[in-house]
Amino acid sequence: MKSIVIKCGGSVMEELDDSFFKSLADLKNRGYQLVFVHGGGPAINKMLELYQVPHEFENGLRKTTPEVMEVAEMVLAGQSNRKLTAMLEKHGFEAFGVNGSDAGLFKGEFLDQEKLGLVGEITSVNQPVLEMFLSEGLVPVITPIAAGENGTKLNINADYAAAAVASAIDAEHCIFVTDVKGIFIDGKLSPHLDTEEIEQHIKDEKITGGMIPKVTSAMKAISKGLNSVMIVSGKDKFYENGSWVGTNVSAKMEVFK
């Protein structure tokens, strides 16, 4: 069965519009199985400030000390996952919230322990567990935490986690739902960008901050065979009658002469 992985950004979780859920229903009616991965950036920042835990980002990735990890898991699993799962239930989906470190759903290793602490990258996705949810008609909602060695928990950027899931289950699409309509270059929404253009825009600093993990994980998934990735807004309708609104990221288009 064809599937779509949807990464729902913490940036937009509080503002998801009814039209967003209509777009999801449209996709479901077209026979797609849906898998969600969620973020929780702003809620984690708020809680870290409340607990007075210092925090910083490097190229859109959160440096993760053990204290930051504890707060991040509390917020992601205890708050963001619960919220998204409940919203999906409210809109008629049978959603099942699960932590990425449960049943080795996500296994991971350190990305750069010295620089980033407990930030990980996913080395494997337990596909049979995911298939089990899907075969029961359930919509998994996954918290982006991976099991490392010896019980270590690793903080995975949710964009990377979604792209890894999309590759693992051979999804037809991976959609990044965020708080902007897509990638803006010089103030204009780009409906389509290929990997070469994206690399250039990162160099020119026209793609920055939280957009960097989105495009780099998109490019990685595309290089592994995923067709294309969409970046869309959760505040608007992003899909209707087979057409998308947002930025489509794809491999470099061949120019035939």
Backbone dihedral angles phi then psi of residue 209, each to the nearest 5 degrees: 45, -130
Number of residues that bind ligand ATP (CB under 6 A): 19
141 makes contact with ligand ATP (CB under 6 A): no
Exactly one of 210, 216, 229, 230 binds ligand ATP (CB under 6 A); that residue is 210
CB 98 within 8 Å of CB 105: yes
Q: Which stretch binds ligand ATP (CB under 6 A): 3-11, 49-57, 100-108, 220-228?
A: 3-11
Encode burial over 105-140: b for 16+ CB neighbours within 10 A, e otherwise: bbbbebbeeeebbbbbbbeebbeeebeebbeeebbb
178 makes contact with ligand ATP (CB under 6 A): yes
Q: 41-50 and 66-75 helices cross at what angle (nearest 10)? A: 120
The residue (of 10 and 97) whose beta carbon lies closer to ligand ATP is 10
Helix (H, G, I), strand (E, B) or coil at 202: helix
218 makes contact with ligand ATP (CB under 6 A): no
- Residue 78 annotated in ligand binding: no
Binding site partner of 127, from ligand ATP, Mg ion, none, Cβ cut-off 5-8 A by kind:
none
Exactly one of 34, 84, 164, 207 binds ligand ATP (CB under 6 A); that residue is 207
Exactly one of 97, 210, 234, 246 binds Mg ion (CB under 5 A); that residue is 210
Task: Output the smallest distance, CB 149 to Mg ion, in A.
Answer: 26
Which residue's Cβ lies closest to Mg ion?
A: 210
Strands 145-147 and 173-178: unpaired
Q: How far is CA 190 from CA 47, 97, 185, 246, in A?
A: 34, 33, 7, 8
* Stretch 95-124 residues interacting with ligand ATP (CB under 6 A): none
Q: How far is CA 58 from CA 61, 91, 222, in A?
A: 5, 36, 24
Binding site for ligand ATP (CB under 6 A): 9-12, 39-41, 158, 178-180, 183-184, 206-211
Which positions make up the binding site?
Answer: 40-41, 62, 155
